[in-house]
Structure 1
């Protein structure tokens, strides 16, 4: 602690800003090593400090423009990825339907006696 108690409070306010912790009179007082409620509006010595705390709290309450831009980009990315996923599902369903039709055709042409392409049964049948 320094000789000037207000310097401790202002240093505490700066630490809270850097940590992006919730800023109010009690938080600043506790961060400065004082008791909760030690910053009172009725004391003229704290007028400048209280104004700085209120300004920091207002600044903290409004989201920053870079955060809004990041959020907008993230939402656009999610939307794009979701549409790509839907398109891939549509392609896969189309390919499955085509495969089903081709297997049905093959079974009809071969008279229903089609050997499996994979598996242990195929090796046993070939021997």
Structure 2
């Protein structure tokens, strides 16, 4: 490996450690060279470009994981909200049904029917 390529690889390693943006231009600038000095047309840069692309993918992977986990949390939150709304609707429906049944029971007991048990203290009828 030539000395100039070694400088580029060292610059790539430094960028990996500081978790900076990794592309051909940032590696060249980190190596003390001009922007655009790493060219795909140069066969000696093929291994360097492959290493830069791999490092770039590796640096992007945690962001993708975080994005995925965030989206999963949002989806879970929406599902839980939907389940909560459905539970509220069921509870409201049951409360309405209980109220209607109590009215019906009160109408049925309207003075002609004697209850079998005395209502407990504090209970509603």
After TM superposition, the score normalised by the length of structure 2 is 0.50
Aligned alpha-carbon RMSD (Å): 4.7
Partner of 1:9: 8
Segments of structure 1 that go 5 or more residues without pairing to the other structure are 72-127
The 2-side partners of 1:21 and 1:59 are apart by 12
Question: CA offset at residue 66 of structure 1?
Answer: 8.9
Residue by residue over 1:79-112, the C-alpha shift from the partner in whole angstroms, topping out at 9 and shown as x without a partner, is: xxxxxxxxxxxxxxxxxxxxxxxxxxxxxxxxxx
Name the count of aligned residue pairs: 103
After TM superposition, the score normalised by the length of structure 1 is 0.49
Report 1:32-111 matches (<5 A). Answer: 32-63=31-62
Question: CA offset at residue 57 of structure 1?
Answer: 0.5
Segments of structure 2 that go 5 or more residues without pairing to the other structure are 71-125
Moved beyond 4 Å, runs of 4+: 64-68
Partner of 1:101: none
